[in-house]
A and B are shown apart, each in its own frame.
Chain A
Amino acid sequence: AQSVTQLGSHVSVSEGALVLLRCNYSSSVPPYLFWYVQYPNQGLQLLLKYTTGATLVKGINGFEAEFKKSETSFHLTKPSAHMSDAAEYFCAVSHSGGSNYKLTFGKGTLLTVNP
């Protein structure tokens, strides 16, 4: 069984400050890991993903995340927050199982950016 824990349901940062959103996962097989962003009244947009290879992955809008197997973590960072980053962020885990690629999501972290 897979599970995702996002530490902190709400993170508040100042504009220009470092953004760090935490995600820990549980998976019995090598995981595929994703970060999605959701703006109000919209669907999910993929920020970045880790499947295999380099453990530091870069995504859109200046975000990046590092897969740390020993810590079972996949934290999302951005060096300098922008007002437009305010949104809800979801970490998700999946693994290949035949043709079934269901995503298991965390409960989300709401990011607010203060001017």
Chain B
Amino acid sequence: ETGVTQSPTHLIKTRGQQVTLRCSSQSGHNTVSWYQQALGQGPQFIFQYYREEENGRGNFPPRFSGLQFPNYSSELNVNALELDDSALYLCASRRDRDVSYEQYFGPGTRLTVT
């Protein structure tokens, strides 16, 4: 069973640019969530996608957007990058009917904004 994978591993962008991060969910998982983990902090929920639609969002501005594809993979897009967007971005997947409520995390993408 293939786990959650994310690409790229590391990324350096300049303030004002746009970035796209990618996530392949674990086999059989139809729900994907994205989290932002700033240095020295716990992960913060950005949003969740289910059946290709956003169905839950944390306290993040609209310049954070996403997509989920029919194969359940997902993208996180961030426009107009700010220095504070520098963080580890984690993707997590699960089955919507999984009563264990466990989310499986990928290794993350480290984004640095200069």
**Residue positions of A touching B, CB distance < 8 A:** 4, 32, 34, 36, 42-46, 49, 51, 90, 92, 94, 96, 98-108
What A residues does B33 contact at CB under 8 A?
Answer: 101-103
CB atoms of B56 and A102 under 8 A apart: yes
How many B residues, CB 8 Å from partner?
Answer: 29
How distant is the Cα of A88 from the Cα of B72 in the complex, in angstroms?
30
**Contact digits for B78-113, partner A, Cβ 8 Å, 1 yes 0 no:** 000000000000101010100111111111100000
Known: A42-B107, A100-B56. Is A107-B42 also a contact (CB below 8 A)?
yes
A102, B56: Cα distance in complex, Å: 8
Taking CB atoms, residues of chain B closer than 8 Å to A34 are: 102
A43 touches B107 (CB 8 A): yes
- Pair B55/A44 contact, Cβ less than 8 Å: no
- Are B43 and A94 closer than 8 Å at their CB atoms? no
Query: In the complex, are the beta carbons of A49 and B105 less than 8 A apart?
Result: no
A44 to B108 Cα, complex, angstroms: 9
Chain B residue numbers with a CB within 8 Å of A101 are 31, 33, 48, 94, 101, 103
Question: In the complex the two chains form, what is the Cα distance from A17 to B27 in whole Å?
Answer: 39
Please name all residues of chain A whose beta carbon is closer than 8 Å to the beta carbon of B4 when the two chains form the complex: 43
B101 near A106 with CB under 8 A, answer: no
B44 interface hit (Cβ, 8 Å): yes
